[in-house]
Amino acid sequence: MSAHPPLLAADELRVTFRPGGRELRAVDGVSLDVQAGETVALVGESGSGKSTVALALMGVHPLAGGRVRFDGRDVTAAEGAERKALRRRMQLILQDPYGSLDPRWSVARILEEPLVAHAVGDAASRARRVGELLAQVGLPADAAERRPHQFSGGQRQRIAIARALALEPRLLIADEPVSALDVSIQAQIVNLLLEVQRTRGTALLVITHDIALVHHVAHRVVVMYLGRVVETGPVDEVILRPRHPYTIALLKSAPRI
């Protein structure tokens, strides 16, 4: 066991929605942690609450219970400047890069925006940073002047990853980062995320329903079912010796293993 606290520690998270007046416990007591530099996969079928966990971790959904600690500090209780400082160290990548990139903005502006929002550098240093980010995600320098619609889905996901990297996060939460992409492109984007982790030591929380992807990227797996964690452990243990019937069913439905 490490003497350091985990980079991210979510404790008994609860998120409740009220569609049509009835109570839906979308996330019902979920605990998970991610160590610095580690990749954790959060898996589960559609509707099991994975995206809701991601948005709760990012502070987008209010918590009905539980708390989130980042680097040992309580993010849920943090306010003002402390909250902003903690938040910039965790960044979210979504499934559909088209919906999350403003079509009117140039790529340069998209990548610069988080730097401007956090008052990082001046115009010249931000422009340099845009160039570095494009190189880091494997896009040509002239991508800066173009707009999102001029790129393919895979390239758009590279832009979204570059934006998430702008503030040098210590944790990336990637919610189904490749499931909207052509199968032929998926491996490239997965490899880009793994390269970011290897070169920057960035921790990854990868959300996916694709258990084959889990085997390829993750150190540890957290399996969700109907808003709860049903199984968690090192990737080989969970995939080779699943204990929960739901995990077994999930593995059986994965043709690529």
Which residues bind to ligand ADP, rule: CB under 6 A? 17, 19, 24, 26, 44, 46-52
Question: What are the φ and ψ backbone dihedral angles of 183, each rounded to 5 degrees?
Answer: -55, -35
The angle subtended at Cα 112 by Cα 203 and Cα 160, nearest 5°, is 45
158 binds, among Mg ion, ligand ADP, none (CB under 5 to 8 A by kind): none
DSSP string, 30-99: EEEEE-TT-EEEEE--TTSSHHHHHHHHTTSSPPSEEEEEETTEETTT--HHHHHHHHTTEEEE-S-HHH
DSSP string, 103-148: TTS-HHHHHHHHHHHTT-S-HHHHHHHHHHHHHHTT--GGGGGS-G
Asked whether the beta carbons of 134 and 144 are under 8 A apart, the reply is yes
17 binds, among ligand ADP, Mg ion, none (CB under 5 to 8 A by kind): ligand ADP
Minimum CB separation from Mg ion for residue 52, in Å?
8
What is the maximum span of the chain, computed from C-alpha positions, in angstroms? 56
Question: What are the φ and ψ backbone dihedral angles of 250, each rounded to 5 degrees?
Answer: -60, -40
20 binds, among Mg ion, ligand ADP, none (CB under 5 to 8 A by kind): none
- 46 or 199: CB nearest Mg ion: 46
Q: Taking contact as CB under 5 A, which single stretch among the options 49-57, 133-141, 157-165, 224-232 is the one that binds Mg ion?
A: 49-57
Asked whether the beta carbons of 69 and 148 are under 8 A apart, the reply is no
Q: Is 100 in the site for Mg ion (CB under 5 A)?
A: no
44 binds, among Mg ion, ligand ADP, none (CB under 5 to 8 A by kind): ligand ADP
163 binds, among ligand ADP, Mg ion, none (CB under 5 to 8 A by kind): none
Cα gap 239→224, rounded to integer Å: 14
- 48 or 202: CB nearest ligand ADP: 48
Cα gap 58→39, rounded to integer Å: 17
208 binds, among Mg ion, ligand ADP, none (CB under 5 to 8 A by kind): none
- 21 or 80: CB nearest ligand ADP: 21
Minimum CB separation from ligand ADP for residue 92, in Å?
13
- How many residues in the shown chain lie near Mg ion by CB under 5 A? 2
Minimum CB separation from ligand ADP for residue 61, in Å?
8
| Residue from the set 39, 51, 100, 247 that interacts with Mg ion by CB under 5 A | 51
Q: Which helix (H) or strand (E) holds 225?
A: strand 220-225
- 44 or 97: CB nearest ligand ADP: 44
Where does this chain bind Mg ion (CB under 5 A)? 50-51
